Structure 1
Amino acid sequence: MAGGRMKLELSRVVQGKSRLGVLKGLGRTGKHSLEVPGCLLYTHLGTVPHLTQDTLHTLSSLPSVTQVSLSHVAEHQEVLEEFKVGFRKFAGLHDTVLYCSLHDPAAPCPTGYTTNKTVSVWGSGGRIEVTAAKFMALQAAVQPDWYHSMADGETWQGNTSRKRVRKSVDRTLAHLDECLLAHQKSRELDGVEVFGVVEGGDILDERLRSARETAKRPVAGFCLDGFQTGAMDSALRAQLMAAVAKELPEDKPRLLQGVGRPDEVLACVEAGVDLFESFFPFQVTERGCALSFSFDFSPDPERAGSAPPAVLEQDHVEAVAEPNGELRVDDQTQMTRFEISLKDERYRDDFRPLVEGCGCYCCKNHQRAYLHHLLVTNELLASVLLMIHNTAHYHGFFGALREALAADQLDLLKRRVLSEDKK
């Protein structure tokens, strides 16, 4: 059965870079679509952390694409092969498009284990070494709708030599060719799309070579790797991304790995990125925090009923005053200025919702004081309620981002998100 061919239809490109449109022809039937800029639904083994499927589907505007990673799936290879009908049914997922990435974007990935023939993933049982043959056998067992090819992504830590970066690009292209060859022969992967991975560290000519060579292959889209939070200076990242974007075809999507913070999302959209992994709400939840940043850029009174939640000015002061700095992938405990820590004693007698006007179940039914109580008593419900709110707030931000691009108001949205102006 042939799948619908994935195609990005752009409705507008703002200032030559920021792209607004719809990714169509998703899934093997081709009936699904995803608005861009957009994000995927982050999961552990097909389940959004802390949420059951029923709880998850109380949220509106969820993405049509669910992300699973081989780091979680690899240790279940034998079971999936015996099951025979793919991971979607195995995990009880229904009407969704399944995307399979190599690593879990929310988990640190140790370096020094990549060879010319293998990459490594880390599951609950430790390291699993993956050859191209094993990688493709895993994809055949998972039967995703799209996956990205094997890649040597160990050059993002900085201070990597030019020789090592060149080797990373060469290996990644060799992996891609091997994956594409095996893919064409696989019955289980008929109609499945492949994304090529663009590497190149912080070296411009290697980035461009990786992009150009990957674009020559029959891939449906591109994963931009090595730009993770904390990997490089933000100005350099934007410069490299913009240069890479010029080398990639307009009608194929660009998925950025390992970036989730709202300010970074905005900068990367301006550099031409289409898709993001939504692991950031999970990291915020694990810190016992709630996302609390404003993305209401529309003063239109007719939209007041459906406008994004308004964050109180004093919340912004609280959030900015919290410890801040670059959130490194290897240090996910560090707060950002887009969240408030409900463990803080100041919330003990605070009977307001997490965010005024937020329509999520948590904000409509509970107060900050209750979340504080749940956290200090180590109740599991704390993570459930925080994850509901953080997921809703984050996907609401992406909705506002698309609206801002459509209305040519991206600069206004940026000022709101970054708290540079106050209503």
Structure 2
Amino acid sequence: MAGSRMKLELSRVVQGKSRLGVLKGLGRTGKHSLEVPGCLLYTHFGTVPHLTQDTLHTLSNLPSVTQVTLSHIAEHQEVLEEFKDGFWKFAGLHDTVVYCSLHDPGAPCPTGYTTNKTVSVWGSGGRIELTVDRFMALQKTVKPDWYHSMADGETWQNNTSRKRVRKSVDRTLAHLDECLLVHQKSQELEGVEVFGVVEGGDILEERLRSAKETAKRPVAGFCLDGLQTGAMDQNLRTQLITAVTKELPEDKPRLLQGVGRPDLVLACVEAGVDLFESFFPFQVTERGCALCFCFDISPDPERAGRAPPTVLELDEERDAAGETKQNGDVNLDHQTQMTSFEINLKDKRYKDDFGPLVEGCGCYCCKNHQRAYLHHLLVTNELLAGVLLMIHNTAHYHGFFGALREALASDKLDLLKRRVLRERKDLDG
């Protein structure tokens, strides 16, 4: 494999861990870049859920990297092979960088189906078993700009034995070597970047072994797997990420899978993570909720899109959020659990609330519609509810990442943490 074109240029490292910079040389042409810390654009089969391309582009500052998953693509392999021009063209993803991951981070993934030679993904028609050969055949068909190698990620449950965790690390390294071998011989994948996957469950020495060994391979970056929300408490997650990132080269990006909640994102950035998947706005939308947390660190409180929700309102909704676990990590049913960063618009209190979802937010939904209207759409099961909520939630979430980069650039990370965590202090204290 020729040298990677993807390069991470860091402009600041705060307190030895939080990294601010730009990931350059993305895509086949190398002309795209992505600011870090940052997140990818979450999609189902190349489309942001609830949104058309036209609606999506009412949003500004969208990331240049679109995430697609084999769990959505694998069952359409024959159609794509016939099409021949790669998934980005098939899905109309012009002028974007396509990153292909194994599983959909926004959906629960059944466990217990991994073997020494295969991993499984779940499409709408059920389970699809992938060998390295089939996995790589899919990559040649998809023709992404970057993908992560096949991995055994089934060790994120707390009761996984040390022996099983060791096996997961061994399998994942073997898969990586096999993927790289096929990749290097494949013309279709010329110029495509590979990320290695770091496994190791909750066992520190296995995490370190996985990180050190993966770093020896010719990979462009690293996916940190098995640290999903609900899999472990945040203190342990921070400990493991901090230890792992010390073993990884500084000039290559670290992408964390399965963590999206703002408080957890902040903690993981402080531990050295660069990139996140943006499935969280989708999960919030599916619950009929709107993201409504403050990330305003500017001296001007009137600044568009940054006005805080009222603390009283969040206090009232806390009971509904039901998150009283230590360190704020929810149980494994986190896909459906409401968090304290959102308001539930199905609640009857919004029936006569004629304010925007978030005061000062500049998104299409907040500028044109009121909470009462969203409440009406939700209780009558109108499809428009999902569209408007997804517009707002996506804009709010990407706005948070913009504020995070700004905070790192201007030494205001502590201020941002106070703003974002303000409505959580009762929960975790």
TM-score, normalising length from structure 2? 0.95
1:373 aligns to what? Answer: 376
Take 1:418 and 1:305, find their aligned partners in 2: how far apart are those partners?
20
Who is 2:270 aligned against? 270
Correspondences of 1:20-419 after superposition (within 5 Å):
20-300=20-300, 304-306=302-304, 308-325=306-323, 326-419=329-422
Where 1:127 maps in the other structure, the secondary structure is strand
Alignment deviations for residues 41-70 of structure 1 (CA, whole Å, 9 cap, x no partner): 000000000000000000000000000000
- Contact 1:4–1:29 (Cα < 8 Å) also in 2: no
Q: CA deviation at 1:420?
A: 5.9
Contact 2:314–2:423 (CA<8 Å) still a contact in 1?
no
Per the TM alignment, residue 305 of structure 1 is displaced from its structure 2 partner at its CA by 4.0
Shift of 1:354: 0.4
Structure 1: distance between partners of 2:131 and 2:144 = 19
**Match of 2:187, SS?**
coil
Separation in 2, partners of 1:198, 1:122: 22
Cα deviation code 1:5-58 (max 9, x no counterpart) = 001000000000000000000001000000000000000000000000000000
Distance 1:276 1:128, change over 3 A: same
Q: AA paired with 1:248?
A: L
Query: Which amino acid counterpart does residue 76 of structure 1 have in structure 2?
Result: H
Alpha-carbon spacing, 1:98–1:421, altered in 2? closer, same or farther (3 Å): closer
Deviations 1:195-216 (A, max 9, x none): 0000000000000000000000
Pick closer, same or farther for the CA change 1:420–1:338 going to 2, 3 Å. Answer: closer
Helix, strand or coil at the partner of 2:337: coil
Q: What is residue 326 of structure 2 aligned with on the other side?
A: none
In the alignment, the residues of structure 1 paired with residue 274 and residue 313 of structure 2 have an alpha-carbon distance, to the nearest angstrom, of: 30
Matched AA of 2:308: A
Q: Which runs of 5+ in 1 are unaligned?
A: none
In 2, the alpha carbon distance for the partners of 1:69 and 1:9 equals: 27
CA deviations on 1:342-382 (whole Å, 9 max, x unpaired) are 00010000000000000001000111000000000000000
Moved more, 317-326 or 217-226: 317-326
Shift of 1:233: 1.6
Q: Any conservation in 2 of the 1:118–1:130 contact (CA below 8 Å)?
A: yes
1:120-158: CA deviation from partner (whole Å, max 9, x where unpaired):
000000000000000000000000000000000000011
- Distance of 1:379 and 1:169 partners within structure 2: 46
Distance 1:125 1:173, change over 3 A: same
Instruction: Tell me if structure 2 keeps the 8 A contact 1:6–1:26.
Output: yes
RMSD: 1.6
1:307, CA displacement in angstroms? 6.0
The alpha carbon displacement at 1:311 in A equals 1.9
Q: CA deviation at 1:332?
A: 1.4
Report if aligned partners of 2:315, 2:423 keep a CA contact under 8 Å in 1.
Answer: no
SS of the residue 1:100 aligns to: strand
- Contact 1:21 1:36 (8 Å CA) reproduced: yes
For residues 194 and 289 of structure 1, what CA distance do their matches in structure 2 show?
Answer: 36
Structure 2 spans left out of the alignment, 5+ residues: 324-328
Distance in 2 between the 1:155 and 1:3 partners? 32
Task: Give the superposition deviation at 1:317.
Answer: 2.1
Provide TM-score, normalisation by structure 1.
0.97
Which amino acid in 2 is paired with 1:134?
R
Distance 2:113 2:260 in 1: 26
Asked if 1 retains the 8 angstrom alpha-carbon contact of 2:304 and 2:361, the reply is no
Contact 1:24–1:32 (8 Å) recurs in 2:
yes
Deviation at 1:93, TM superposition (A): 1.0
CA contact (8 A) 1:296 1:413 kept: yes
2:313 corresponds to which letter in structure 1?
Answer: D
